[in-house]
Amino acid sequence: MSCNYEPIDDAVRARTARPSKVQRREHAFEQLTAAQTPRAKSVSDDSPSRAHADSASRANSVSRIVVSSNGMPSYHGRTSTLFEESYHDRSTPEANSRMPEEWVGKGLIAEAACQRQLEDVNFRLGKLDFDGVEPELGQHLLSLHWNRQHHSFLITYRPAFMRDMACKGPNFSKLLLNAIFFSASKFSPRRELRRDADDVRTAGWQFRERVRGLLGGALDKSDTTTIQALLIMCNSLFALGDERSAAWLYAGLAFRMIVDLGIHVDKAGLTTHRKFSDEDLEIRRRVFWAAFVVDKIQSLYQGRPVTLKESDTLVPIKFLDTYEELELWTPLAYLTQSDVAYAGSPAYSISTFKHLCQLSLILSDILSTIYTERSSDKSSAELSTKLESIHATLQTWYRDLPSHLADLGKLPTTPPPHVLSLLAMYHVLVILLHHPFVADGHLYSTSRSISVNSLKCCASAANDIVHLMRVFDKAFSIRRAPYLISYATYVAATIHARIAAKRGPGSDAHSSLAACLAVFRENQETNPAVRRANALVQNLMKRLGVRMHSIDQCQIHKDTSSNSQRQSPEAISNATTGRGPSLQGLDLDGIIQSFVREQENAQMTQAGTPEQFAVNTPTTMLPSRVPVVPRDILDTGGHDINSLNYDYDGQWLVSGQHQVYREATVPVDDLYYGFNSAALDSFPITPFLEWNTM
């Protein structure tokens, strides 16, 4: 069996095209694009005049993709001498007509189905290259990858990867294979994959060493498989908690390679003398959007500027191979108990990823507008106007979700975890957008209604996050939840803690907060970075005076009857409809004032902090009132960190010493943007972990 690459000649395509079918396709495509964003429509027109439009577009284009003598593409803009060379000296044969996307999609789906059958055949024949790994183990790790990480971002294109794994084709590399092995290892129950059998953090260590060895030679030139490997390593390393720099640098290399290869621009006629195949274009689109999403999520977690900006890119959110959309999915990589019954569900991978890409555009807008170094230069009126605009965009995104992604209660079974993660991400963005407007003291004094509205939005979103994590735990077990679920839980917990401070024990807010703490306890093994979230939330609880009888006995599903119904997007996003159940009878102004006082104290702390220790956080977006950890405690061995106590007035107390402060401090509360930044590396986690399993 061999791999044959036989591109269809453009002249043959033109002769075999059926006019009547094309006309019907044009009408159907117009209806399809009517519901898409203008960004997608601008690069996806399949009309008969496309060839003429492409020619005009090339003449006005600001870039070219030059293909060198060795067949490698390279992106260049107008300032490059290669831009003119590509336009004048190299001819680009254009097709008189293009195959309708409907036909292209059917061809890709057919190829995907064929390759899926060949996977078992090639495995049995021993044709798959496992890079020296025992085939059964290698197949086990691949199965975990295709079941879990693959559906989150669609970084890898399975038909091409598995086909070329059998024939050493260009869409397979040992670097990418070992990156997949490394990322899947921590979800495997096989202890032989761990350097320390009792420490899941050491799972896949041999594959990481192999990646390091292969990566050196792969950095001499840009390659799609190298980009995919770097993105996979980025996500896996970040979840370890102490590998943030490696994750950031790997992602940065991937982004550079994407621009080098011109993957960030998907425009007809941009290349010289070489046309990408339909499969190539599908892979390039998936790789770009996977990188775009990873970029925004990493920027959010680490509190750093985004790298891939929408204004510099031109790629439609359109994926033609929909084979995996309705493929049966079962939770191979998520279940921790064999007695959990799950009948399976359609994967919904393509639609989920498409809407995740759209959501990442909104996240990019939030980060670049509100969470920037110069956000303090904008007036409250400007920021409020932007709040309304982004808020409306979020509403539209949610309202346009297909029923299989939005109406969980109407589905026969719980959808896969990547669907729940998508919805959790939406609610995180609601809080991320509105939280600063709750904590803005000037805005509260001039426009109280905005602050009150934002608080209601945050509370409703926090309720929905808790509901989602309970659904997740009931169907799959929260122990194997991805890091995004834990991050969403942290964001929700900071809201529930403030509401619980105004409620008595046994309230819905206390139950939701207890559920969040239980999630941290259960999820810490899969995502060690969760320990920080738990420490910060317990710190916030102590400062607010929120007490629980026994934190180590918190349960995810305790007292869930009142929160069992999922709220509508209108309840989340339109405060004029009335207060949510958790806010009825509450002193909203008192809650808002707690945000405001802490914000003002944090700003004063920031103003008095030496530059070398200042946290890289915009002034208007500073975390709410620190308590802060005195750096003399952190930097010296004079005190046992486990003996630190925290009083309810916001002071760190050491035995025989009160109000111990020095110039440098570390803000810790309500830090959504940059939650995983290095600024909190010195924050003492141990004093706040009250359960014995940590």
| pLDDT tens digits, one per residue of 90-134 | 444 444 456 899 999 999 999 999 999 999 999 999 999 999 999
Condensed to tens digits (0 to 9), the pLDDT of residues 626-641 reads: 333 434 333 333 333 3
pLDDT (0 to 100) of residue 61: 59
Distance CA 31, CA 38 (A): 14
Distance CA 401, CA 410 (A): 14
Six-digit token string for 588: 């909203």
Q: Tell me the Ramachandran region of residue 296: left when phi exceeds 0, alpha when psi lies from -120 to 50, beta otherwise.
A: alpha
Taking residues 539-567, what's their average pLDDT? 68
Q: Are 479 and 336 in contact (CB under 8 A)?
A: yes
Taking residues 550-576, what's their average pLDDT? 51
Condensed to tens digits (0 to 9), the pLDDT of residues 463-496 reads: 999 999 999 999 998 988 998 999 999 999 999 9
Taking residues 142-162, what's their average pLDDT? 97
pLDDT (0 to 100) of residue 92: 47
Q: How confident is the model at residue 68 (pLDDT cuts 50, 70, 90)?
A: low
Taking residues 257-276, what's their average pLDDT? 77
Q: How confident is the model at residue 563 (pLDDT cuts 50, 70, 90)?
A: very low
Q: Name the range with the highest mean pLDDT among 62-71, 228-237, 600-609.
A: 228-237
Which single residue is written with the structure tokens 């509205």?
A: 453
Average pLDDT, the chain: 76
pLDDT (0 to 100) of residue 242: 73
Tally the C-alpha atoms within 13 A of residue 179's C-alpha that lie toward its C-beta.
27
**CB contact set of 424 (below 8 Å; sequence gap of 6+):** 465, 468, 469, 484, 485, 488
Domain limits, the chain:
10-88, 108-329
Six-digit token string for 341: 């019954």
If one compares 680 and 242, the residue with the highest pLDDT of the two is 242
If one compares 612 and 529, the residue with the highest pLDDT of the two is 529
**CB contact set of 666 (below 8 Å; sequence gap of 6+):** 615, 626, 628, 629, 631, 634, 679, 680, 682, 683
If one compares 313 and 86, the residue with the highest pLDDT of the two is 313
Distance CA 193, CA 519 (A): 26
The yes-or-no verdict on residue 378 having pLDDT over 60 is yes
pLDDT (0 to 100) of residue 647: 37
Condensed to tens digits (0 to 9), the pLDDT of residues 320-333 reads: 999 999 999 999 88
The yes-or-no verdict on residue 182 having pLDDT over 90 is yes
Of 1-5, 186-190, 263-267, 348-352, the least confident: 1-5
The yes-or-no verdict on residue 560 having pLDDT over 50 is no
The yes-or-no verdict on residue 690 having pLDDT over 70 is no
If one compares 482 and 691, the residue with the highest pLDDT of the two is 482
The yes-or-no verdict on residue 318 having pLDDT over 90 is yes
The residue among 312, 315, 271 whose CA lies nearest residue 290 is 315
Q: How confident is the model at residue 557 (pLDDT cuts 50, 70, 90)?
A: confident
Q: How confident is the model at residue 198 (pLDDT cuts 50, 70, 90)?
A: confident
Taking residues 345-354, what's their average pLDDT? 98
Distance CA 600, CA 619 (A): 10
pLDDT (0 to 100) of residue 434: 94
The residue among 531, 456, 519 whose CA lies nearest residue 493 is 519
The yes-or-no verdict on residue 60 having pLDDT over 50 is yes
Q: Are 138 and 130 in contact (CB under 8 A)?
A: yes
pLDDT (0 to 100) of residue 628: 39
| Number of helices (H), then strands (E), in the chain | 26, 6
Distance CA 348, CA 328 (A): 9
Six-digit token string for 34: 């009517």
Give the 3-state secondary structure of residue 66: strand
Q: Tell me the Ramachandran region of residue 190: left when phi exceeds 0, alpha when psi lies from -120 to 50, beta otherwise.
A: beta
